Amino acid sequence: MVRGDPVLTIPNPHRAEIGPDLLVRILRQAGISRDEWTDA
């Protein structure tokens, strides 16, 4: 996932969908709000 300057690598060793809790943590680290994510 790339958003401007921060580049965030999202590991997914299970090759399945990630859970909501992990997604929220990833978005928080990337500085993306839930609204920005759902509007994208």
Give CA 40 to chain center in angstroms.
12
pLDDT for residue 3:
64
CA distance 31 to 28: 5
The backbone torsions φ and ψ at residue 10, rounded to the nearest 5 degrees and listed phi first, read -110, 105
pLDDT for residue 2:
62
The model's pLDDT over 1-40, given as tens digits with 9 standing for 90+, comes to 566 777 777 777 777 888 888 888 888 888 888 888 888 7
Strand (E) or helix (H) holding 5 = none
CA distance 21 to 18: 8
Q: pTM of the entire structure?
A: 0.58
Query: What is the number of structural domains in the chain?
Result: 1
- Domain of 1 in residue numbering reads as 1-40
Residue 9: partners with Cβ closer than 8 Å, 6 or more residues away? 1
Strand (E) or helix (H) holding 1 = none
pLDDT for residue 11:
74
